[in-house]
Structure 1
């Protein structure tokens, strides 16, 4: 039974996350708060109007985390244990990151604080012995010549000969890796309800980045190349980029400011499955999750399967990873149809569908009428222990190896192009 309409705006609204697509009860909001919420929600939340123009209900999608606008904080909790959520959030992070005190948050603690604390600890661990330095090209007007004199500039502005333009390489900590960490710490400190102990940790670690330039989050959308010099930064850089993506919302409407830290569980589950399988199947098999596949011979229609399993250059299996399931507990028909299209276009007799929690699991195997294509469905339950999740992933990797060793019955040319 939905709660009664509140007369004053609540400071917090708790929503269940997908797969239930939970919705709040009716909430009365001031006009400015409602306008800011509608403008900031995007695809993260669904704002439903009611007969009363001042009352709305708020629906959850596949995004979990929190979104804050003046007078209101909307929270969406994941339908997985906190430990498993952090394991997914750290997809590609070394397993050692979970063997110490990094993941100490319980299911009753604030999720945003836990995400921030996890990222801070990784940045702290990566930089505690000092910041990585590198050479950065500088252009500067100087009274004494340093590096290379820019002759063209000198010819154009001879009256500035007292301070000629010079170009030189400076060995400094103000490099993109450290700028990424500083930007991440600043983003987390901007969260208005960050727990005091987490804020203190962030400020303590921030002190190491004195002299590192402030940069916008948009500068860090491309991964930094990992080298021998910065390889100990790798885990922290990967998680920092994900946190910046999750906190990328900064909507301004007049004096209204919105902040968010929200993660798309659909996308997170897909990337996590790809990386976990790739880790377990290497080096004999590899998983590609960044390809477009041509559906038709005329190359007019493309598709994007989540899992393309290869042995060398040969495609041996195709699959999809779906966190979301239908409201009745069954995988949606379109998920089957997508996988049937993948298997047909790529000449595979079997497709693999990996799904997440559901109260009523689909059939483990179905055979497509008039085609004979097998669709295997395997669950990865995320509401149990992390050890149980790892066992499920090991079993899934064994199944992929078995299917990869089974010859396909179809001989259809595979047309694949790299996704831009």
Structure 2
């Protein structure tokens, strides 16, 4: 018998749940940083705390679902960061807050893979070494000399023009990973199996092989959106924990990481080509270059850094951002010789001040909210206004006067 808990809100907590010893051990082993297991006075009863990870985790005997605090439509907007607008129309997202989030993520990924491959799979040349009855490519003479008794099937090295290339292996691996989810909706499973049929002849590969992005070229550029989301799905489904002879499955996304990536992608799209955003670039803090930090976004005009910023999704318990968010920006601005830092944050009941001036330094930290509890059109307007603020700050990086966009605020 499998227990299916009511969905837990992000950073929320379940009610007491009674688990047998095997299920509890499997849950503790599989939870990692995604869930927090709280003991109670009854050793057979636990409560489960959610973190910033949303999605679902299934172990033998238990399924735990965590729903994002943002609306599902905005969650998919964040998930589609970097995806071409024509591939993802926000108005056509049909998943609601009551639907299964995993099914929505899987269907979105299947739709992109389907669209990318419906006219056929990209082929490429792959180097191979095989024993053949006829010589193909280059005969490996040294192997022939070592093993003359195998002259009937000499070993050859050749380039094979095939669909069994990294791009298609990534898609097949993603589809297989989604099909492994035991709770996948029947209609989504049928779609995954239909698209999987195109990948006959493509080898099965482990998810770890696809950790590094495949370079985008003229030949595979129409694959770019599907590959980007496929890698994200594989990262979300990377948990595969052996619990005896049982297997745990998960599809969970870290909202902290997703928010940072989304902010960078959205701003980069709006600010190009005048300004360029670099993410997670190391900044040297000391003259000896022994200490480094990585801001979430560095805004450049040409080769000049004009503003540095961080994006913080998780709020403090009292509604204020954690002090370390400010301290990081003070360190970035001091090390890079900038008068202003930008802190983009998410929903909170008690919004921090728009501007904070650091004592004895004069450094300004500008705090801008991007609310994700409204409609996508409202979110898009907020991002447009944030991009306008960044342009104004980049135009006058040394001014201590509060810019126009800061006075009017991002709405």
Corresponding residue of 2:68? 78
Pairing 1:15–2:8 present: yes
Gaps in structure 2 of 5+ consecutive residues: 401-411
Q: Judge conservation of contact 1:9–1:30 (CA < 8 Å) in 2.
A: no
1:198 maps to 2:188: yes
Residue of structure 2 equivalent to 1:135: 125
Matched, 1:323 2:316: no
Structure 1, gaps ≥5 residues long: 1-7, 411-420
Q: For 1:66 and 1:102, how far apart are their aligned partners in 2? A: 24
> Shift of the alpha carbon at 1:139?
0.9
Once the two structures are TM-superposed, the CA of residue 409 in structure 1 deviates from its matched residue by 7.1
Task: Identify if the C-alpha distance between structure 1 residues 407 and 376 changes in structure 2 by more than 3 Å, giving closer, same or farther.
Answer: closer
2:342 aligned partner: 352
User: CA–CA distance in 2 between the matches of 1:212 and 1:248?
Assistant: 21
- For residues 291 and 281 of structure 1, the distance between their equivalents in structure 2, rounded to whole angstroms, comes to 18
Q: Is the 8 A contact 1:134 1:172 kept in 2?
A: yes
In the alignment of these two chains, the number of paired residues is 400
Separation of aligned partners in 2, 1:208 and 1:373: 57
Name the structure 2 match of 1:341: 331
Q: TM-score by structure 1 length?
A: 0.93
User: Which SS does the other structure have where 1:270 is aligned?
Assistant: helix
Q: Distance in 2 between matches of 1:185 and 1:227?
A: 23
The runs of at least 4 consecutive aligned structure 1 residues that moved more than 4 Å come to none
When residues 257 and 55 of structure 1 are mapped into structure 2, their CA distance, relative to the original with a 3 A threshold, is: same
Alignment match, 1:4: none
CA distance in structure 2 between the partners assigned to 1:299 and 1:210 by the alignment: 51
Which deviates the most, 110-119 or 333-342? 333-342
- 3-state SS, counterpart of residue 7 of structure 2: strand
**Could you tell me whether the CA contact under 8 Å between 1:9 and 1:27 is conserved in 2?**
no
Deviations 1:199-244 (A, max 9, x none): 0100111111111111111111111111111111110010000000
Query: In the TM superposition, what is the alpha-carbon distance from 1:24 to its structure 2 partner?
Result: 1.2
Matched with 1:110 is 100
Cα deviation, residue 101, structure 1: 8.4
Per the alignment, residue 27 of structure 1 pairs with: 17
CA distance in 1 between counterparts of 2:294 and 2:7 reads 34
> TM-score, length-normalised on structure 2?
0.95
Deviation for aligned residue 1:322: 0.3
Alignment of 1:29-178 (within 5 A): 29-99=19-89, 103-178=93-168
Q: Residue 362 of structure 2 aligns with which residue?
A: 372
Contact kept, 8 Å, 1:44 with 1:62, in 2: the verdict is: yes
After superposition, what is the alpha-carbon deviation per residue over 1:16-75, rounded to whole angstroms, capped at 9, x for unaligned? 10xxx2111221111000000000001101111222221111111110000000111111
Q: Is the 1:102–1:118 contact (alpha carbons within 8 Å) kept by the matching residues of 2?
A: no
Q: Partners of 2:399 and 2:377 in 1: how far apart? A: 37
Deviation at 1:173, TM superposition (A): 1.0
Distance apart, 1:12 and its partner CA: 2.4
Matches within 5 A, 1:369-408: 369-408=359-398
2:277 aligned counterpart, secondary structure: strand
Residues 347 and 370 of structure 2 are in contact (CA less than 8 Å); yes or no, is this contact kept in structure 1?
yes
Q: Residue 102 of structure 1 contacts residue 121 of structure 1 at CA under 8 Å; is this kept in 2?
A: no
Partner SS for 2:282: strand
Q: Secondary structure of 1:291's match? A: coil
Relative to structure 1, the CA distance from residue 134 to residue 100 in structure 2 (aligned partners, 3 Å threshold; closer, same or farther) is farther
The CA deviation string for residues 318-338 of structure 1, in whole angstroms up to 9 with x for no partner, is: 110001111111111111111
Contact 2:340–2:397 (CA<8 Å) still a contact in 1? no
Does residue 1:222 correspond to 2:203, yes or no? no
